[in-house]
């Protein structure tokens, strides 16, 4: 057994860390306050090849593995979750379905722009009446004269409405008990995108409501087989969970780093608060749980890279790290005292950003259901 990362993985970590500290950290608070999408940062990430890490070079991706992708997402989240989710949703949810299920023509049409980061993509599963019960999708797509006529709505969709979004892959009912995935290009008549939704966290990321009214999409935009949509989106969510789990580790690490630095600096009762055992114990707990969380995430990524079943490992990693990020942000803010409650302290943003890690890509309850099912219950 070898717990060391390869030289390439270490190099990737230091490259992303440097970018996050130099380019993202100085503007993260402002972007969050102004709910402003980070176009310049996305362009910078694209230049570094970080908008398409797990896709082959023939499609302008970086040709990396899942572990590399997880490390990059972890490092971005350590500094800012809005940027990290923009990359993660674009990669795992937006681009991956086209890579996995698209035919040659679809891949040639979409992947170079997406994997290079010139354009963004989104994946729209959630609807007002279909959240955890994603199979209850009501959006319909009827095949008429060579087009899918789409009607329905989607909710909370990441990356759907930026100036550089190329498309959204939607799940739609194409028959009774039949769900399929269809790529809808932005700008298609009948496809409307709401203003950005106002959120508690991830405020610089793009989250929209989508509505489709007699929206005609070319028949050729069906991804994979008709009726395979349910199986496809379960597989997409399994993979996506590794990146959201990496976000949990990154956020917990960021919270730890902020709290450790603050504890060394802040003096009360004539000494740095880091001298108090009560503070040390909080930091010791976060550091210990971080090791466990990181090991779960890297193992899930490794299993996927080995081509072995990874659904159980991904769900466990996602559940554990979502709860870890929650505890870590809470402890870290407590260590900051009243200053931590102020917007200019980064920990207040991490505290708000953390919560959705226990909700998106399957709530904690859904992860427990998935894990129990894998255990045979």
Ligand X SMILES: Cc1cc2nc3c(=O)[nH]c(=O)nc-3n(C[C@H](O)[C@H](O)[C@H](O)COP(=O)(O)OP(=O)(O)OC[C@H]3O[C@@H](n4cnc5c(N)ncnc54)[C@H](O)[C@@H]3O)c2cc1C
Q: Which of 74, 75, 209, 361 is catalytic?
A: 361
Work out whether 135 is an interface residue with ligand X (CB under 6 A).
no
Work out whether 365 is an interface residue with ligand X (CB under 6 A).
yes
C-alpha count within 13 angstroms, C-beta hemisphere, residue 369: 7
| Phi-psi map region of 38: left, alpha, beta (phi>0 left; psi -120 to 50 alpha) | beta
Span near ligand X by CB under 6 A; candidates 34-42, 248-256, 306-314, 356-364: 356-364
H-type helices in the chain, by residue range?
A: 7-19, 25-33, 39-47, 66-79, 81-88, 96-101, 104-115, 229-265, 277-305, 311-336, 346-354, 364-374
Tell which positions 174-233 bind ligand X, by CB under 6 A. 199, 202, 207
Lay out the site mask for ligand X across 71-90 (x = CB under 6 A, - = otherwise): ------------------x-
- Count the neighbouring beta carbons within 10 Å of the beta carbon of residue 218: 14
Work out whether 124 is an interface residue with ligand X (CB under 6 A).
yes
Active site includes 361?
Answer: yes
Work out whether 296 is an interface residue with ligand X (CB under 6 A).
no
The SS3 of residue 312 is: helix
Nearest to ligand X of 65, 311 (CB atom): 311
Tell which positions 88-107 bind ligand X, by CB under 6 A. 89, 93
Span near ligand X by CB under 6 A; candidates 5-13, 151-159, 179-187, 262-270: 151-159
Work out whether 366 is an interface residue with ligand X (CB under 6 A).
yes
Work out whether 245 is an interface residue with ligand X (CB under 6 A).
no
Nearest 10 degrees: Cα torsion 141, 145, 146, 151: -20
Phi, psi of 171 (to 5 degrees): -95, 135
Phi, psi of 330 (to 5 degrees): -65, -50
Nearest to ligand X of 299, 355 (CB atom): 355
Span near ligand X by CB under 6 A; candidates 152-160, 175-183, 259-267, 340-348: 152-160
Work out whether 126 is an interface residue with ligand X (CB under 6 A).
yes
C-alpha count within 13 angstroms, C-beta hemisphere, residue 228: 13
The SS3 of residue 143 is: strand
Among 157, 166, 167, 244, the residue binding ligand X under the rule CB under 6 A is 157
Q: Footprint of ligand X on this chain (CB under 6 A)? A: 89, 93, 122-126, 131-132, 156-158, 199, 202, 207, 356, 359-363, 365-366
Residues annotated as part of the active site: 361
């Amino acid at each position: 057994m070898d717990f060391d990362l390869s030289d390439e993985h270490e190099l990737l970590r230091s490259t992303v860390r440097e970018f996050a500290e130099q380019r993202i950290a100085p503007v993260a608070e402002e972007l969050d306050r102004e709910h402003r999408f980070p176009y310049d940062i996305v362009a910078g990430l694209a230049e570094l090849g970080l908008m398409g890490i797990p896709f082959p070079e023939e499609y302008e991706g970086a040709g990396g593995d899942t572990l590399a992708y997880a490390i990059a997402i972890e490092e971005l989240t350590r500094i800012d979750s809005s940027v990290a989710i923009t990359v993660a949703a674009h990669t795992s949810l937006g681009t991956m379905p086209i890579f996995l299920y698209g035919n040659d023509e679809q891949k040639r049409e979409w992947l170079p722009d997406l994997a290079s980061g010139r354009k963004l993509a989104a994946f729209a599963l959630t609807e007002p009446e279909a959240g955890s019960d994603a199979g209850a999708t009501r959006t319909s797509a009827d095949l008429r004269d060579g087009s899918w006529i789409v009607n329905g709505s989607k909710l909370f969709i990441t990356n759907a409405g930026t100036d550089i979004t190329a498309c959204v892959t939607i799940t739609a009912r194409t028959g009774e008990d039949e769900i399929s995935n269809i790529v809808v290009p932005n700008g298609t008549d009948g496809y409307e995108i709401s203003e950005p939704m106002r959120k508690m966290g991830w405020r610089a990321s793009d989250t929209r409501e989508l509505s489709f009214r007699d929206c005609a999409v070319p028949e050729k935009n069906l991804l994979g087989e008709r009726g395979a949509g349910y199986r496809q989106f379960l597989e997409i969510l399994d993979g996506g969970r590794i990146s959201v789990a990496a976000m949990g580790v990154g956020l917990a690490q960021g919270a730890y780093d902020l709290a450790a630095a603050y504890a060394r600096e802040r003096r009360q009762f004539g000494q740095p608060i880091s001298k108090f055992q009560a503070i040390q114990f909080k930091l010791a707990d976060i550091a210990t749980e971080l090791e466990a969380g990181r090991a779960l995430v890297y193992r899930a990524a490794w299993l996927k890279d080995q081509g072995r079943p990874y659904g159980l490992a991904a769900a466990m990693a996602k559940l554990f790290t979502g709860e870890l990020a929650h505890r870590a942000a809470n402890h870290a803010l407590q260590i900051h005292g009243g200053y931590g409650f102020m917007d200019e302290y980064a920990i207040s943003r991490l505290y708000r950003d953390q919560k959705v890690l226990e909700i998106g890509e399957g709530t904690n309850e859904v992860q427990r259901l998935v894990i129990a099912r894998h255990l045979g219950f």
